[in-house]
Chains A and B, each alone.
Chain A
Amino acid sequence: MKWGVVRFPGSLDDFDALHALRDLLDQDAELLWHKDPSLRGAECIVLPGGFSYGDYLRCGAIARFAPIMESVARFAADGGLVIGICNGFQILCEAHLLPGALTRNRSLSFICDWAFVRVENAGTPFTRAAKAREILRLPIKHGEGCYVAPANELAGMEERGQVLLRYVDAEGHESDQANPNGSMHAIAGIANGRFNVFGLMPHPEHAVEKMLGGEDGLKIFRSMVGASA
């Protein structure tokens, strides 16, 4: 499967995503420059982590207007697979490809740490390599990861299974301590109603090698391999 990792000015984990896809999963993956509207035949798009445009104005607020984002929006409307990681998730919300918004962490500071997330819906192209209720250990590193959405929207998303990942503790229980940024409903990752666009704050691309701390991130990428619409 061909992957395209979008590179905005200020993207940081673009190389990490490429490394995970190419070197660990043997995928055909390349960088897509933000100014170029061509997706170059990619069957799956990654919006990587980082500080695109320095987080000026709001995280992802400027990236959503990049020339390539028009193509990404069309690609998503046609059912193409899109995964937005951290800043990528923020960009997807700003571009209204996903509902809700990411706001400042409850602690008001940047947090880099390992978190546990529970797979709430294993029946999607992004999670099918995991089991329902499985706990994954993934790193987070963000200052604006608190997910918010209107109450009725949230209720609808929960009902339809659009919440894919939820913060829990090592034993799988939800709690204030287990929720690193104060996200509503302890939401770590969500999909759109069509389940072809996925946004998550944790970084699966940083959990693909045991020596670097863990391999649970592979499950998310493996789910997507071969799952193109």
Chain B
Amino acid sequence: MALPGEPPVDEAQARAHGLTSEEYRVVLKWLDGRTPTFTELGVFSVMWSEHCSYKSSRKYLKMLPSQGPLVVGGPGENAGALDIGDGLVAVFKIESHNHPSYVEPYQGAATGVGGILRDIFTMGARPIANMDSLKFGALDHPRTRYLLNGVVGGIGGYGNCVGVPTVAGELMFDASYNGNILVNAFALGVARRKDLQSARARGPGNPVLYVGSATGRDGIHGASLLASAEFDAESESKRPTVQVGDPFTEKLLIEACLEAINSGAIVAIQDMGAAGLSSSSSEMAARGGLGIDLDLDLIPLREANLTPYEMLLSESQERMLIVAQLGREAELIEIFAKWDLHAAVIGTINGTGRWRAYFKGQVVADLPIQALGDGAPLYERPAAAPRPRRIRANSRATVEPSPAEALRALLSSPNVGSRRWVYRQYDSLVQSNTVVGPGSDAAILRLKDSRRGLALKVDSNPRACARDPYLGTIGVVCEVARNIACSGARPIGITNCLNYGNPERPEIMWQFLRGVEGLRDAALAFDTPVISGNVSFYNETEGRAIPPTPTIAMVGSLGDVSLHLKQHFRLSGDLIVMVRTAAPSLAASEYEVLFESDGGVLNPIDLDRERRLIDGLFEAASHRLIKSAHDAAEGGLAVALAEACFNPDQPFGAAIRTNSRLAVNLFGEGPSTVVLSIDPEAFASVQKIFAPLEVRILGRVTAEPRLRIGASDSDAYIVDEAVRDLRGLYDEALTGRLSG
């Protein structure tokens, strides 16, 4: 079975492929002692990589709640699906492309978008929106500008050309990401429930079709040696492992696949992502408890003389694998030919339970199918909390800034200010569904031929998670739910991207476990099942890990999209009220970082009160009692008030009286604070709806565009700023630092 010219296979070769000695021994057991061929070894190395097999995390992800009355699909299929009414389902998922984006930012980010889109339309759903969560190193770090330009360019270059609007996102600069950036790409699609496709092969004898781009040498070992390993000084040499994307071909693929799915000739379909043909073919067959024979000579190639190893491991983009109904192959091939895409029968499903690949008449791989997917060893890596850190003394005895100074500094901060420099490069309008686009709390899409709408948002909080990986993760879920509810929608489901360092280190494994537990507890509290997700380990360089960064994306549902809310004040004279579930804290806040102070500890979170807040927002919005709603995040209440004044049609002002003596009240963060503007007549009803949460009156919206904040018991204002000035700082926070 070994091909002439292939390197010999032994334990050293296995380790060079990223397998451990123990894992190699398990491979030998699966093969009853036979030494694998080089091709087979390559396939094991990618299928058993952390990125593909989830060997360090799978055991624990089972604790996440994935069921619920609206759930149609769950983890296991490519993306989960939720019933959104009117016979429609929403399909969504988020995935990481961290390592490729650090090595080759444009293509890394572009192919991240391409990959997540394929996970959506492989289910029969047309992708209707993208979001991205990005983390870069410090803005003044020498590599950051290059990475930022590349990543934003790649997301725009791919997303714009493929015709899916990018409607929301997240962007953070922090020195803890200097050596490892994070690029998490989210996509949402909508399908008729009856059109949902499966990735489970059925019917021995059914033909297997390869469709899409031809196969080349790009991306080989992208899953194993790039995504499942740390970075070090040699990381630049990993550039060939980054895949190269072609959004034009992906657009054709979307149209062709949806047409093909419509024909009814498809039994199962899966995209070729990480580990390319090996993973898609083995996973589809394994799910059906079947086997598959592949004839590698029939694969459309874009380069000459690819070896079986290369063909099976290639991560060339924009390719799908289809199990078709016997006899309908020609029909499908014609559809793909119409769109000028390759389409070829390359194999057959059978009942043997074996995964076999043939090349030039020879068997080059013959493996038990269960060995590849579920056969990967499952690890229960040791997890241990780190020794409690010494309480950080405030060694920089800075004078505390005045509230006005603090507000101005926060609005000017790259982590608070306007992200317009980024989202202006993204088409947020294509497909004509965008009711609220980037620059708001949650994005809102309308569903055509329906009164309904969907809200979507992605959030993370690495600083809080670094302080407490459990509480911090709960806080992230609370924040994203708050954003969804502030748009007038009811949260219905979650997808997550869990980004951590090296799981072979007990401290990292502990962070991960606590994060999963936090996600579980919060998801249960909000009745938002986790219907899909992704884990990205090994985000560290030379032993320094990123802070624990669980990224949570949430989707909400609006029964009547015209009832949506935005964050800006709308009418002079409206009452401004605040609903707060807990006292804010400066711990892990932007204020704490900017002014190098010691914010103390994170406050505990009462999930019952958090749920009350979300339910109250949804109920009040449904009864049209809220004019605007904005949640307080980075920068706290004062920043939220300023942002609420930045109505693009006409700036408003606000006259606020509140407990403003302590910085923590104006600039503290943490769950949860929302700022609402309401008709004064509505106050009593709003109070009733939110009870037992207190609805506190802060002040009034004013026509004069000045933000005035003062203490309740004093006449003077401690903040009295022209909204135009504050808006200027906010608009220039990123743009000013990026030009030139």
A interface residues, Cβ below 8 angstroms from B: 9-10, 12-13, 15-16, 19-20, 50-51, 53-56, 109-113, 139, 141, 143, 203, 205-206, 209, 211-213
Contacts and interface: CB of A to CB of B under 8 A. Distances in A.
A205 to B, nearest CB: 7
Interface in B420-455: 423-435, 446, 448
B161 interface: yes
Given A10-B248, A54-B247, A110 B156 contact: yes
B57 interface: no
A211 B431 contact: no
Nearest to A14: B163
A174 B435 CA distance: 29
Interface in B161-179: 161, 163
Contact of A203 (B153, B156, B429, B561): B429
A55 B158 CA distance: 12
A16 B430 contact: yes
B163 A12 contact: yes
B161 A112 contact: no
A163 B461 CA distance: 51
Contacts of A110: 156-157, 160, 425-427
A112 B424 contact: yes
B419 interface: no
Interface in B559-573: 561-562
B340 interface: yes
Contact of A9 (B153, B339, B429, B431): B339
Given A9-B339, A211-B562, A212-B434, A54 B446 contact: no
28 contacts: A9-B251, A9-B339, A10-B161, A10-B252, A12-B163, A13-B430, A16-B430, A19-B432, A20-B432, A51-B251, A54-B161, A54-B248, A54-B249, A109-B425, A110-B426, A112-B160, A112-B427, A112-B428, A113-B424, A141-B427, A206-B432, A211-B561, A211-B562, A212-B429, A212-B434, A212-B435, A212-B446, A213-B429
A111 B424 contact: yes
B246 interface: yes
B624 to A, nearest CB: 15
How many residues of B sit at the interface, in one of the four size bands?
Answer: 20 to 34
Contacts of B435: 211-212
Contacts of B425: 109-112
B429 A56 contact: no
A206 B160 contact: no
Given A9-B339, A110-B160, A203-B429, A56 B248 contact: yes
Most buried by B among A50, A203, A206, A211: A211
Nearest to B339: A9
Contact of B161 (A19, A51, A203): A51
Most buried by A among B156, B161, B424, B429: B429
A139 B430 CA distance: 11
A15 B252 CA distance: 15
A110 B160 CA distance: 9
Contacts of B430: 12-13, 16, 141
Given A15-B432, A56-B248, 4 more contacts: A53-B248, A112-B428, A143-B160, A205-B432
Nearest to A54: B248
Most buried by B among A19, A51, A112: A112
A10 B248 CA distance: 6
Contacts of B433: 212
A51 B248 contact: yes
Interface of B: 153, 156-157, 160-161, 163, 246-249, 251-252, 339-340, 423-435, 446, 448, 561-562
A9 B248 contact: yes
A139 B429 CA distance: 9
A50 B163 contact: yes
Nearest to A9: B252
Contacts of B157: 110
Contacts of B429: 112, 139, 141, 203, 206, 212-213
A109 B427 CA distance: 12
Instruction: List the 4 shortest-distance A-B pairs measured between CB atoms, nearest first.
Output: A54-B248, A12-B163, A51-B161, A16-B432
A205 B429 CA distance: 10
Contacts of A211: 435, 446, 561-562
A15 B431 contact: yes
Contacts of A206: 429, 432
A109 B150 CA distance: 12
Contacts of B424: 111-113
Nearest to A53: B248
Contacts of B163: 12, 50-51
Nearest to A7: B255
Contacts of B248: 9-10, 51, 53-56
Most buried by B among A9, A50, A53: A9
Nearest to A16: B432
B413 to A, nearest CB: 24
Contacts of A53: 248
A50 B255 CA distance: 14
B340 to A, nearest CB: 7
A20 B448 CA distance: 12
A112 B562 contact: no
Nearest to B340: A9
B426 A12 contact: no
Contacts of A50: 163
Contact of B431 (A10, A16, A20, A139): A16
Given A19-B448, A55-B161, A112 B426 contact: yes
Contacts of A113: 424
A65 B23 CA distance: 56
Contacts of A141: 160, 427, 429-430
B562 A212 contact: no
Contacts of A12: 163, 251, 430
A13 B432 CA distance: 9
B247 to A, nearest CB: 7
B316 to A, nearest CB: 16
